[in-house]
Amino acid sequence: MQHRSILFTLLACLLGVVSHAQTYSVLIKGGTVIDPKNNINQVMDVGIFEGKIRKVAKDIDPKEARQVVDAKGMYVTPGLIDIHGHVFFGTEPNHYLSNGLVALPPDGFTFRVGVTTIVDAGGAGWDSFSEFKNNVIFNSKTRVLSFLNIVGQGMRGGNWEQDTADMDPNLAAGVAIKNRNDVVGFKVAHFQGKDWKPVDNAVKAGKLANMPVMVDFGGSTPPLPLEELFMKHLRPGDIYTHAYTLLEGNIRETIVDEATQKVKPFALEARKRGIIFDVGYGGASFNYSQAIPAMKAGFYPNTISTDLHTGSMNGSMKDMLSIMSKFYNMGMDLPSVIKASTWEPAKVIHREQLGHITEGAIADVAVFSMRKGNFGFYDKTGYKVEGKEKLECELTVMGGKIVYDLNGITSPIYLTK
């Protein structure tokens, strides 16, 4: 009887230890949590369980966790949201960013820089979306969403993107409404005509589906006026991407007057009206001659994004963290940089369940170090800004699971398949 009592006691203790240890599947300890939605910017611990944020507090007992991440001296943020990428990759020749060779498979370019959600910006149109969904969305660990191109064929380049007959707002809205879990809005891009039809059709689709429109605007000579775009065609909440670009050939108006280095008054009014200004860095869509005076005037981007594709990643863009580091080195404080890469894009695409570390929220989390050294941040013209600090991703958590760990700061380390 005494032996049985001892056995029950030992078993109860063992079960107690197991239960105690499973309060959290992952515990991120000792990092500075920057969570703009909740106005947090201090050293906190983040406990994760069953894919959700379970607790954000000081000094959570590491014995309660299956895995512990040592984030001391690092920054802990929501998983980054890149609202302008190109991930409708494929093998079709002459398909550009729509099932073509210039787009990229998301999982190879997201987790390693803290991105847990990426929005494909117009690669798929209403006619090609099902292929994008079956090939990419369903087969990616990264959360992949879509701005549906107003062109049915999507971003195939050339004449396909000039065909106004293929820009059907009703068909586009129908596909978007049917796929609300995956489609967040509509995209206009690369149109070279002197016609507002692409923008107006996208906005019509946006009204039908109650979704925002992202505009990559300009191509005609002389360019159609931005003031008219912002004030007469777009709605509050619609997005102007490539905000800090200067294109050769006078085919797109700029938001900063290059002669006076002042932000144009209509851009300030557009911001007050609720137009969203997105970086959309890309291979040719960012100039320091636009960005530096805009930053000095306090004209910060609402959202930071990459315009990721094979050309931009090997050019001056690099990746999400490189762009964030550029804006940080231009004087944007780190919480504002994080906000423009997490909570703001979540609101812009109406995915408010993302972009924050609220208890009960989806556990998408990134851990960054701030590297010290001598770094050169250049643009497409070769103009370089030197900096002493640069963000580097140490660890990424997607849906409560560690999907990237640069230096093995997790203990114990369990390799995911």
Q: From CA 242, how far away is CA 122, in angstroms rounded?
A: 14
One digit per residue, the tens of pLDDT, for the chain of length 417 reads: 444 444 444 444 444 444 444 899 999 999 999 999 999 999 999 999 999 999 999 999 999 999 999 999 999 999 999 999 999 999 999 999 999 999 999 999 999 999 999 999 999 999 999 999 999 999 999 999 999 999 999 999 888 888 888 999 999 999 999 999 999 999 999 888 888 999 999 999 999 999 999 999 878 888 899 999 999 999 999 999 999 999 988 889 999 999 999 999 999 999 999 999 999 999 999 999 999 999 999 999 999 999 999 999 999 999 999 999 999 999 999 999 999 999 999 999 999 999 999 999 999 999 999 999 999 999 999 999 999 999 999 999 999 999 999 999 999 998 766
- Which pLDDT value is given to residue 416? 64
User: Distances from the Cα of 221 to the Cαs of 159, 247, 286, 338, in angstroms?
Assistant: 17, 12, 20, 37
Please give the pLDDT value at position 11: 47
Q: Decide: 305 and 328 in contact? Cβ < 8 Å.
A: no
Confidence (pTM): 0.94
Give me the count of residues in the chain. 417
> Which neighbouring-strand residues pair with 45?
57
